[in-house]
Amino acid sequence: MKRQPDDLLGAHVSTQGGVAEAPARGAAIGATAIQVFTKTPNQWREPTLGDAAIAAFRSSLAASGIRAVVSHDSYLINLASPDETLRERSVAAFTGELVRCRALGIPWVVSHPGNYIDDRADGLARNARGYAQCLAAVPGEVGLLIEGTAGAGTALGSTFEELRALRDALPTGVQARVGFCLDTAHLHAAGYDVATALEEVWEQFEREVGLTHLKCLHLNDSKGGLGSRLDRHQWIGEGTIGPEPFRRIMRDPRLAPVIKIIETPKGDDPIRHDRRMLRRLRAYARGGRPNGRTAQTVGRA
């Protein structure tokens, strides 16, 4: 029997056909961790998970060998909005996400901070109140991972200072359930130089937030340039970030317990592309080149 990799590395996988299908899809690409949507991310409709669906997911997960699962919330949610109707709808949707994850045994929900639209400070306060309201409504162990954004438009959360401020604004009673997810492509787009000054980025995050609060990393190369605010993902080592930062991330013992998820392009063959990205990252972790190829050809491995 082939030995499973000793890491927490995987991809965002489809839940088409039901959330119970996701663990097997993760296993098929060689993942040890997966990210899922528990509902259609671009619709408000809230699904109801019955006991059979919950049991099927838990059974499938146990059989898959997947060691870590995170959920990603809906794209429609905007807890920072000045529009009271949208904000109330967003609170209901995010609360529903926490409820589903608690039932499924998924410990973390990754959430983009909202768009403030009018005033940044007011938007941050609204966003924090929304998170606090939802976490209070769903007690238990399921937690929130606030994801750093690329900073386009009026999006909150593109700076470490703002990420820390969102958590600091929450009641102390729920702060223990709140951590962070960073995305390499978002960091790059927001102006953090992960391509040539990665250690300085980690040092800044440690000063402002604390690496102990980093629970998940989205590993994506970028089609946009440094500081471009452009959130467009590229295959690992083939974008404007390049391979070296990903080698360093994969070999960094401080980041070994951090769940690592790729959200790289699926192309016309999601299984093949996800497999090759995970193979590439594991080759980086070993210190070798994918398929034994040279540095000049690694971009096509």
Please give the average per-residue pLDDT across 243-268, as a whole number.
97
Q: How confident is the model at residue 169 (pLDDT cuts 50, 70, 90)?
A: very high
Nearest one of 104, 51, 47, 96 to 73, comparing CA atoms: 96
**pLDDT one-digit tens code per residue, 51-83:** 999 999 999 999 999 999 999 999 999 999 999
Whether domain 9-264 has CATH 3.20.20.150: the reply is: yes
Q: At what angle do helices 198-208 and 160-168 cross, to 10 degrees?
A: 20
301 pLDDT exceeds 60? Answer: no
Q: Is the pTM of this model over 0.75?
A: yes
Torsional sign, CA 193, 195, 197, 202: positive
Q: Where are the domains of the chain?
A: 9-264
SS3 label, residue 148: coil
290 pLDDT exceeds 80? Answer: no
d(CA 22, CA 6): 20
Residue 166 CA: distances (Å) to CA of 113, 127, 131, 176, 199: 9, 8, 9, 13, 24
For residues 156 and 115, the answer to whether their CB atoms sit within 8 Å is yes
For the chain, what is the largest distance between any 2 Cα atoms, rounded to a whole number of angstroms? 57
What percentage of the chain carries pLDDT values higher than 90? Answer: 93
113 pLDDT exceeds 60? Answer: yes
